[in-house]
Structure 1
Amino acid sequence: MTKSGYHHGDLRATLLRATADQIAAEGVDAVSLRALAQRVGVSHAAPAHHFGNRQGLLTELAIEGFGLLADELRAAAGDFRAVALAYIGFAREYPGHFDVMFRSDLLRSDDERLAAARRTSGAELRSGVTGLGLDPTAGRAAQLAAWSLVHGFASLWREGALDGSELGGDDPEALARDMVAAVEFVGARTDSA
């Protein structure tokens, strides 16, 4: 076998990047360790050496994704609009990660690093919800509503459900900004009522 795809550097990172790229282009069902090794140009045992099996590979990709998401949300500095747009932007920029991060059927649910990464990104998302000034007794419900809003939009966009829809449009970023502004407007009207 020729090793034309991989020459030097961090093989683990290269394998994760190739996996994310393949998921973004072909979906998670297309991922196999053998095909990944061939694509990167390494022995078929190399991915197994780093990740054990397919579930281990996808768990590592999800951990990496939650870290990237936390970084994006942290940069939004607690403002709901900025956090919501950062979440949606993450799904657009890292679709391969996004497609596995919330798929418990694909991941090692008992992985402590995965649980910690989820908690960290969740805390960053919640920081944006607290910036809305909602009634503190609505905390969990408001957090779930905010997460559902941004994750739902990101999933609809990622899965192509907005294509050709009366609710869709040609510019997903503008559509996301309008959606977040509409939710803030509805929230402001409810507060003043």
Structure 2
Amino acid sequence: MLIIGSSFFYGFWNPVYVILPFCLTLLGWRGAIWIDSADGKQKFWRLVCTITLLLLPLLFFKYTNFLINDFLLPLVQFRSVSESEKYVDLALPLGISFITFTLISYVVDVYKGLFQIEKQVKWLLGYILFFPQLIAGPILRPSQLLPQLKKNQPRHRRLWITGLTIFTLGLVKKLIFADQISRTIDPIYAAPDMFTSWE
């Protein structure tokens, strides 16, 4: 349920990019198993290889626009490129840095022996996609969150009602109060020099 809800949350921005955390998690999971099956220097080089592979999508999405539009095109055309002439405009996937560094933290902990490899990929995926921390963090060590996800919690009706009540109150605060206040505040932030401190 957590994976489905978190995937919906992640994909709400751009459904195409939902595949990215799944692929990265699968890569991190297999990489940790691969690292754990080696010893000595071989174990270290497997860690380096896994971290490099995990960083490649992050580097691709972060630097492709710059590399092509701001570096290669001006070099080929011998002039600067205007905004309308830019050939590549890749959107940076939501939370890609967070996902990448969380998975690196997992494989490093497995390498150091601080955490056992996760036998089932679904638990690691739940850890990576955990939506309350997916966008803003912080990066939690696997030992801080994974055992809590695996713990078999009783499913009482009272807990569901309490959770839905808290969620509804938060939604009401956002829709009724925050959105209304933002209508007043947004024009001030848009042109702060037009207002005095008393307005």
TM tier, shorter chain? under 0.3
Q: When the two structures are superposed, what TM-score results if normalisation uses the length of structure 2? A: 0.27
Q: When the two structures are superposed, what TM-score results if normalisation uses the length of structure 1? A: 0.28
Structure with greater Cα Rg: 2
